[in-house]
Structure 1
């Protein structure tokens, strides 16, 4: 088995990306477990709400540059590589900072539950957290582009471990509250990003030195990424990032704390198919043969056992946080586990169509799922509670999977006739 994985580039990089996401999720789980027990639920709700907003800001602001890296970096010379990465990071992080300031100015007037963004410390935390997320996302995609996902694994394990160690140290020293949770979450992100920029990238691409020269010429490619990859990514990741924000706006920060823990627990399943999809796209960008059946087999092999564990033992897992998290989130977790199958179908379909250049088809599918999910969430939250977000997510993903099935039927019929 291990020999097969080491020889198969798609399987190897899929496993490394998944190991990165699962390892990060595991350490992140311990992080939030400590955060929930030390600062208390009000602080937990505020911290998760701010981090949820920063995830939305980063998602909106990264301009699809990560997938542009995957598409353009393979086969480029050192100078061009340095310009692409340097200009991409500067543009993505700069836009993220601007959008974060705008979000801090607008959100408190739209919903009273975001009043914590009125303070200068809240604004600073949002800006730093958002920029750190964008930098992390873009740098991960640089490693994926070179099918060097071991670098992504090393970075993310150091990042997650650093967050946990920092929070443990601060709480041991007697500090608590939402501010401590946020400092422990952002400080290691800045440190690992700085190390990646100064050390890891030169090892990945010997001779490369990041530069912003020629950034004007790169804007043409950024514009193309904005109209293609970024719109697809926004529609695809929008519900993931917006659901906690909607829960906060409609039900409050404390309810979002309960939702966030269940969502984070289920995310171990939602991380698998995007990881395989990214590896599939990278393989095809490097002109390597990679088929959907192989990708689907990898997803099925990895998600099967964890899905069963979460479905039948999820309440006990949530109980590690406190009895209230188990009581409030057990049903939601089961719903999210059921959504993992249609989610995998749609993620692999989008990766396949993206590699064929069928961007409009990808965008239409993702927009359909996002519209169904977000509309139902907004309408159902007040009357149903946090479970409404899970039901809406399941409905959106199931709708998308049915569309993919309908699209695939004509192709199968033609193949059978031939």
Structure 2
């Protein structure tokens, strides 16, 4: 049986050697290192273990090491060791992709437990990559989550890596970005794909029946309970439970959920015998749960238990370059659903869409695509057929400029160089044609950069 590899980084010689000895006794192959730079040299994309690093070190510190390692391979599990007063720093580290953190002074068994989960997860990631490479397996993740921006490329990459594991996952993103689409994709590419996917809206659970709904009950457990009933957790056995908007779950229930996550057993209302529970939990939140923890609205221990792996789904405002492509994709879906021919979409229309605010994100854009397909969108009117030559020329010029701005992601220098005009002329024509300046990603860009 091969030993799990651990890179242990700590500039304190005594701490480093004592921790290394304890981890070796627990069955790990430990490489004790006194600097982050040494760890960076040893951990490449094929590294099959985990990294444990002190967060405070001279030279490259733990946070910088985390960032540098994730530039090499975003799925290398990094566990940071923090001081008692560094919890806020640890929270920031988790947001930036740390696998977990452990607070000094710690019991070695706590670190061993976290490391075993981390290296098991890493092993699944490596194995999944190997199998995909050998089998040339294709999936439909790109069709479900289209987009060419780096944010979406990284989201799909991370989703595929996490999907192969059994790790509980937290999906974070504002309303309408497609968090449930991501959750279903995770389920469908996992070994649990053939088992149930049970979605639970934590904000809509009836307070009086909440425990019965989740845990089930025996006959006679409460007035009206005439026969035994499985709860939603049991219905998902072998599959995945989606806890949608987990931040809305009542605090009293959070403690019970924590026990389920820790022990993987439930007890039905009115029963004494625990029932083993084989499920994977995926939770979504539109709010910053770390902030909710700080304000006492969400249990900190539950937050860290759910946050074994995290996926951040970006809003449309953070990936405007994807909006035209995504709209085309949604129009095709809508046209097929309504059984109508696809309409040609003028470039100026796509440019205008890319300039929009879209507070409802993909959900709102999908609604817009439906209206477009059904001919209910006032934006799709182009120059009338009977328009005079000057009007047609103006509309053509507007569409060319709008298309170029969209194609270059709002980078003005690339736009005016492609069109062969000056920056000043581009601004004048944008103003003349009413093109929204929110298309510009970098208003500080100058002619000589």
Q: Higher relative contact order by CA 8 Å / sep ≥ 6: 1 or 2?
A: 1
Q: Going by fraction, where is helix more abundant, 1 or 2? A: 1
TM-score, normalisation: structure 2: 0.22
Q: Going by fraction, where is strand more abundant, 1 or 2? A: 2
